[in-house]
Amino acid sequence: MSSKTANLDLYAKVEHLLGIEEATDALHSLYMSELADLEIESLLDVGCGRGGFIKRALAKGMEAKGCDPSEVMAKACQNDGLDVVCGGIETIEGKFDAIVAIFDVLNFMDKEKLNLFLDEVAKRLSDEGVFIADVNTKFGFSEVAEGVMSAEDESGFLNIDATFVNDELTTVFTFFEKERNGKYEKHQESIVQYFHPIRFFQNHKTLKLVDKQTFSLYETNDKTLLIFKKR
């Protein structure tokens, strides 16, 4: 197992302690509203998590599938009967009317990996297809994401320490998982996210940024929604 996958699997294990259910639901509603007026028959959700948006798309009559690099997340989707594979977009074949990358997916890639990822998206979009993603603004990183928090429940105790320096947010997750014998096992991993200015997306060679909307998920102007089409 790669260190990155291990990091994501720990995130999956503690996700229920992060209090992001309301924010995730709001993002899903925003994405679906953007797709509502388009003729979308097929959809790919990259970094699909536990498959919440795929379920929404299926309920709307779309053919929807997904991928996620976390084995924990992918298995959760598969157990729900969803068409999801463990891996990145490079593992997916076919063309799609819509591709989405919801809740900071692009921020988990540095510029080099993001460039390659956007190229892979373009290859999988139908001629009139649309790619929608959200990214954190600099305010979102420095004023919302940075800091320390803790949470606990019957599964254990979680501490998060996030630091934003030189356009990189490093978040250290420390989870003390309660075992059946009453003892605690310590798990610790770090995840790095990267700030990407809008001009980076405006200059991409295979995808054209056709719309952008800055909005508030937690605080004022902490997120930007990006909408692309093939060049």
14 pLDDT higher than 60: yes
Q: At what angle do helices 52-59 and 21-35 cross, to 10 degrees?
A: 40
Q: What is the pLDDT of residues 131-150, one digit of tens each?
A: 999 999 999 999 999 999 99
39: confidence class by pLDDT, cuts 50, 70, 90: very high
Give the fold, CATH level 3, of 3-138+197-230. Answer: Rossmann fold (3.40.50)
Residue 11 has a pLDDT of 92
Domain definitions of the chain by residue range: 3-138+197-230, 140-194
Dihedral of CA 95/47/57/213: which sign? negative
pLDDT in tens, 53-94: 999 999 999 999 999 999 999 999 999 999 999 999 999 999
132 token code pair: 């929608």
Residues 142, 150: Cα–Cα separation, whole Å: 18
144-149 long-range contacts, Cβ below 8 Å, gap at least 24? 144/218, 144/219, 144/222, 145/169, 145/171, 145/193
- pLDDT at position 6 is 65
Q: Are the C-beta atoms of residues 48 and 84 closer than 8 Å to each other?
A: yes
Share of the chain above pLDDT 70, in %: 97
Task: Quote the pLDDT of residue 1.
Answer: 42
* Residue 188: CB atoms within 10 Å: 11
Output the pLDDT for position 2.
46
Query: What gap in Å lies between CA 99 and CA 144, rounded to an integer?
Result: 27
Q: What confidence category does residue 221 fall into, taking pLDDT thresholds of 50, 70 and 90?
A: very high
pLDDT for residue 226? 98
CATH 2.20.25.110 is held by the domain 140-194: yes
Mean pLDDT of the chain: 95
Q: Give the residue carrying structure tokens 């309301």.
A: 22
Residue 220 is predicted with a pLDDT of: 85
Q: What are the residues facing 208 on neighbouring strands?
A: 229
pLDDT of residue 5: 62
Whose tokens are 């990183």? That residue is 141
Question: Which has the minimum average pLDDT: 5-9, 98-102, 121-125, 193-197?
Answer: 5-9
Reading the block at residue 205, the tokens are 């060679």
